[in-house]
Structure 1
């Protein structure tokens, strides 16, 4: 007959329990309102990093003042007009040179006569010269107006002996004109100057310098252009400076420079 008595030490067998992934708890490893610092100093957690309290100032390109902008525009306009004007002048000058082939005139001293050369009682030196200068115009289509205000002078070693006015006249193309000019002057260092000139006269070579500063105007066909300045420099060598005697010009070399 079976006995209803339960044994005193029942055996317990292990039971495998499968937990569904859907029922797996989703508790975060780090609480929401807590933070854990890592070894590198960064804060780990779900919360975003805190926003910096102060930001560097934002640099924006400020607009230039209105007055400065207007000034820059004015300077640019003036510069553009100046460049345009220079280009126009250059083009006109190039056309002028290509069409008319301008050439500077040539000069020569043909005669030098001393009408008075003396030492005064106050030891000043008075000189009166008469010079003949020949000008040649080599241009075929250009005439030259020698305006009023021209000056001629004779110098000895940077000392002015005499001066006078160069006459005004018109020189047509391919024309040669000889002009006589009277010069006179007085120098207060006459005694010293006379001794130096006498020493040069004994050697038979007296260096003189003749200068001409002449304003001229250029005529192209029927149009008269603006004025320019002819600067003529002639190096002369004469044998003597005796009054009323024939003076021989042993050497003569004239150069011209045009000044705008």
Structure 2
């Protein structure tokens, strides 16, 4: 008699477990389907960035291959979404030369970007006696002698998406803007410089940046 009762209890537990698993699978499917439908309706897209201009105040290479630089860049961010807002929780701007960071990080204040809105940032990017790797030193000095240099202006940080009252978790964002700056050639026909203040030279770039989120 006791053996039959044990078998009966085991069957009941097995049926209950199967029902729970089935309910979990159905619930997971509904949640996933809802997410996909919402995603298809909203069609969220990553923001677009443009490097509008760069103003060079100083750019000097000294022995033993130390770089001191000071320039200001204007970067425009555009939110292409109609229903999705973007929180920029953190953005650090800096410059690199041939994969080497050559300036300090310059932070940008956190900001919310609404639907179809633009944000314009003009951070100063600078570094004092930044050591340059030996394999880049000769090329950097050569570029300085030629009067033009190719840099990458980068922005790294974290963003969140907002739909109505719902706000997502944080995502990493990486922005890369190529910048060809003829800082020693004021008469360059493609990138003519505009004098700013006593020592600055402003160059209009209007360069589209790549964005990874």
State the TM-score, normalized to the length of structure 1. 0.58
Would the aligned equivalents of 2:55 and 2:203 in 1 still touch at CA under 8 Å? no
> Given the superposition, is the C-alpha separation of residues 189 and 235 from structure 1 closer, same or farther in structure 2, using an over 3 Å criterion?
closer
Distance 1:133 1:202 in 2: 28
CA contact (8 A) 1:146 1:168 kept: yes
**Does residue 252 of structure 1 match 2:210?**
no
2:100 paired with 1:145: no
1:161 counterpart = 2:102: yes
Q: Which moved more, 1:122-131 or 1:135-144?
A: 122-131
CA distance in 1, matches of 2:179, 2:28: 41
1:241 CA drift (Å): 6.2
The aligned counterpart of 1:107 is: 49
Unaligned runs of 5+ residues in structure 1 are 1-75
Larger RCO (alpha carbons 8 Å, 6+ apart): 2
* Whole-angstrom CA distance in 1 between matches of 2:83 and 2:110: 20
Partner of 2:123: 181
- For the residue of structure 2 that corresponds to 1:196, the secondary structure is helix
User: Does the aligned pair in 2 maintain the 1:124–1:191 contact within 8 Å?
Assistant: no
Distance (Å, rounded) in 1 between the aligned partners of 2:135 and 2:67: 10
Q: How many residues align?
A: 182
* Superposition RMSD in Å: 3.4
Listed one character per residue, the Cα deviations across residues 177-229 of structure 1 (whole Å, up to 9, x for unaligned) are: 11111222242238986653342245454211122112011111122221111
Flag the structure with higher strand content. Answer: 2
- 1:135 counterpart residue number: 77
Q: Supply the distance in 2 between the matched residues of 1:202 and 1:119 (Cα, whole angstroms).
A: 10
Q: Secondary structure at the match of 2:125?
A: strand
The structure where helix makes up a greater share of residues is 2
Distance 1:244 1:85 in 2: 65
TM-score (norm 2): 0.69
Which among 167, 172, 196 is matched to residue 224 of structure 1? Answer: 167
Which residue number in structure 2 is paired with residue 32 of structure 1? none
Q: Structure 2: any 5+ residue segments left out of the alignment?
A: 1-17, 186-197
For residues 65 and 119 of structure 2, the distance between their equivalents in structure 1, rounded to whole angstroms, comes to 39
Q: In terms of Rg, which structure is larger?
A: 1
2:142 is paired with a residue whose SS is: helix
Query: What residue in structure 1 maps to residue 13 of structure 2?
Result: none
Provide Cα deviations, 1:44-63, integer angstroms capped at 9, x if missing partner: xxxxxxxxxxxxxxxxxxxx
